[in-house]
Chain A
């Protein structure tokens, strides 16, 4: 159960997905934020008005998938590292998922890494498509990985197989 293990269930995840039509159009954000905590950087980071404005600092973020462009500004802005970008149009059998990543070493583009599930267990080998580590991200780097579509819910972290830092 979520309050006992911190693992977002498949039902919770699926209920936060956009419509099937929207999912076929391109990247969208999923906010895996299911506990009302006082926090609003995702709302202020969104330049497209996709996150419903509210005076309630504790309100859960509500993403309007029609306004969301999947730009990813929320991914590095979220202090809880709970925002991800999913692009199901990447290829026929793979989705591109953008994850916040604050560990070292950073993976390199094209590198094969372990795709970890929500309990940290490696479930598939995944390919690193892109690594964003610009200064503006302030060390919450963003890694895009190609994930087999059957693991769309499962994979939320990676383990770099090299040991060295940097």
Chain B
């Protein structure tokens, strides 16, 4: 049995920020990451980040991963356990995990769950054919392993991920036939849309994928226009000559562990689906469990890092460890997160959090 003041599950931007924030106030942290290296989704984000310059804006995601990873791995208070998958949370404060072939236990006083999110799937004919990918897999192949996912792609979804991955495909020399989205407007940042448009990629709104064609792999795709009630309009089917279909149709928070621990959950579509009810200190309905990043609500890596810091500081504060300036530090982080969400594009998250606070 291991003993730790704080266990952090997930070594992405939120989890690493939580571990660093708590360790910065003398808290002993055990960080569990199921992959063999830290970084989470940051390791594939080759684009420059938005947000505030003081929070890595203008820096590419891959570089932010390096910066955080180095800080975490060189911090002697953080026991960084890679290749370790959290399996369970017990009433007596024991977290179990699988590490290699071994089943291990760690006894904790506080827990931060930063498990991220999983990609949503879309139902259409042929969606099980090789060549139909989630956007995360396309990024992993391309940006992590240097493998082209295909030669000509249909992108489904015009949110930030769809737009960014389209741009990264173009950078890798892959053609993108079109981006389709069922909505009547572009969901992602319009500067990203302008970028892919001036590379010649059409954005077809009110349009969805009906089928991926082919017998053993994707050899084409059929798209179709939708009416204002999202019903397909007969006769508007169009065949596209593509060998790859990339889906970027949203994310669902990964909250199984929180549910298991008995944290109160609520279905709030604006936040990504079932999310753990939490306050502005990132504390769940269980006073010893905190949450951060996409597991708390689906947003951006910039907000995940701030939430992680707030969760880590809150865990430290709740352990009653006297540390100078810790309350002020948390207040500053909460203000920064609010500033990030203060604009038009933050309205959805603000509304979702208001529903949660009700």
Contact = CB atoms under 8 A, between A and B. Distances in A.
Interface in B148-201: 170-171, 173, 184-186, 189-201
B341 interface: yes
A104 B171 CA distance: 7
A79 B48 contact: yes
Interface string A25-44: 00000001111111111001
Interface in B185-225: 185-186, 189-201, 203, 205
Interface in B7-56: 47-53
Contact of B341 (A8, A38, A77): A38
B52 A120 contact: no
A157 B57 contact: no
Given A44-B53, A57-B52, A80-B50, A37 B194 contact: no
Contact of B345 (A36, A55, A79, A118): A36
Contact of A36 (B49, B198, B344): B344
Contact of A58 (B47, B190, B342): B342
Interface string A122-166: 000000000000000011100000000000000011000000010
Q: Interface range on chain B: under 10, 10 to 19, 20 to 34, or 35 or more?
A: 35 or more
A34 B345 CA distance: 12
A80 B195 contact: yes
Nearest to B50: A39
A40 B339 CA distance: 12
A57 B185 contact: no
A4 interface: yes
Nearest to A38: B340
Contact of B190 (A6, A116, A121): A6
B343 interface: yes
A7 interface: yes
Contacts of B51: 38-40, 57
Nearest to B168: A102
Contacts of A6: 186, 190, 192-194, 196-197, 203
B346 interface: yes
A116 B198 contact: yes
A35 B189 contact: yes
Contacts of A35: 189-191, 344-345
Interface in A81-112: 81-82, 102-104
A98 to B, nearest CB: 15
Contacts of B342: 38, 56-58
Nearest to A120: B200
Contacts of A56: 339, 342-343
A33 B191 contact: yes
B262 interface: no
Interface of A: 2-8, 32-41, 44-45, 55-58, 77, 79-82, 102-104, 116-121, 138-140, 156-157, 165
Interface of B: 47-53, 57-58, 60, 170-171, 173, 184-186, 189-201, 203, 205, 302, 339-346
Given A80-B50, A82-B191, 13 more contacts: A6-B194, A6-B196, A32-B191, A35-B344, A39-B57, A41-B48, A41-B53, A56-B343, A57-B342, A103-B170, A103-B171, A116-B199, A119-B197
